[in-house]
Homo-oligomer: A and B are copies of this chain.
Amino acid sequence: MRSSRVAGQPRYAVVAQALTEDILSGRYSVGAILPSEHALCTQFDISRHTTREALRRLQALGLVTRRAGVGTQVKSNHIAQRYVQVGDTISDLYQYAKDMVLNVLEMTDIEADADAAALLGCSKGQAWSKLRGVRVTDGGDEVVALMDAYIARTYRGVLGDIDGADLPIWSLIESRYGVVPAEVRQQISATTLSRAEAENLSAREGDPALRITRHYLTEALDVYEVAISLYPAERFTYSNTLRIEHLASVS
C-alpha cells in the first residue's frame, strides 16, 4: 500500500507544491496545458481524487483554469498578492456621508460639451443631469463639503431623492435601479478655494482644500455618475486601509 503521507504533508499538498513550483519556475509556461488528470495520477502514483484536490489548490491560487474537454491551462506564473480595501463592503466610501445630509443648491439637465465629455469620459452631446449641493452636518449648522455631481440621464429618476439625503448618490441609484458600481475611480488633489466656492463653504478665498473626484462605472465600464467634492483642509481627511489578501496556501 502507498504511504498516505510524506514529511507530514498530505499527498495532494506535495503534488500541488510540485506543480506550483513548476509553474512559478516557468517549466510550465503561461498558456500551456498541464498533463491530464490521468497522466498526473500515474506520474505521482496517486488516485484521481487526490490529483483533483491538488489541482483545486492551484485553481484557488489563480494559477490555472480548468475546462472539460480542454484541460488544465496555466493562467499565471506568479501568486498574486492583492490588497483589499477593508471594511464591510463599500462602506469606506460612505465615510463622508455619515451623519450628514446633502442640500441641493441647483440642478440642471445638460448635454455634454467638450469639457464635460472629457471629465465624464463620454462622447460629446450625451445627456446628463448636473447638480450642485453642500454636505452639512445633521444639525445643519456646519458645511463640510461642496459637491458637483453628474448623473447619466438614464438614472434621472433619483434627482428627486437627493435633496436632504444622508446617503451618497450612487447608493440612491442602487436603491432605485439596482445598479451597483462595478468600479470606482478616485482622484485626490489639493487646491485652493475660488471666491465662489469659498462663499458656499463659509470659508475664505484661497484657503487650501481637498478635491476628490470619483467616477462610478457599470460592469460594462460605462461611467454613470461623477462626483466632485471639495473639502476645506481642516474639515476633512481622507483615510483608507488596505489589507493584503492571503490566498490559501498550497502546503
Residue A233 is within 8 A (CB to CB) of chain B in the complex = yes
Residue A241 is within 8 A (CB to CB) of chain B in the complex = yes
Whether the pair A181, B244 counts as a contact (CB closer than 8 A) is yes
Contacts of A208 in B (CB 8 A): 190-192, 208-209, 233
CA distance in complex: A20, B231 (Å): 42
Contacts of A210 in B (CB 8 A): 188-190, 210
Contacts of A236 in B (CB 8 A): 189
Given contacts A189-B238, A190-B208, contact A184 B89 (CB under 8 A): no
Name A92's closest neighbour in chain B (CB-CB): B83
Given contacts A189-B237, A190-B231, contact A85 B84 (CB under 8 A): yes
Residue A182 is within 8 A (CB to CB) of chain B in the complex = yes
**Chain A: interface residue count, which band?**
35 or more
Whether the pair B189, A243 counts as a contact (CB closer than 8 A) is no
Residue A239 is within 8 A (CB to CB) of chain B in the complex = yes
Whether the pair B188, A238 counts as a contact (CB closer than 8 A) is yes
Residue A6 is within 8 A (CB to CB) of chain B in the complex = no
Residue A141 is within 8 A (CB to CB) of chain B in the complex = no
Q: Which of A149-191 contact B (CB under 8 A)?
A: 180-191
Given contacts A190-B233, A231-B190, A241-B184, contact A85 B88 (CB under 8 A): no
Residue A240 is within 8 A (CB to CB) of chain B in the complex = yes
Least distance between A104 CB and chain B CB atoms (Å): 25
Contacts of A191 in B (CB 8 A): 190, 208, 233
Shortest beta-carbon contacts, A-B, top 10: A190-B233, A208-B208, A190-B210, A189-B237, A188-B238, A186-B240, A190-B190, A187-B239, A190-B208, A184-B242
Which residues of A are in contact with B by a Cβ distance under 8 Å?
80-86, 88-90, 180-192, 208-210, 231, 233, 236-245
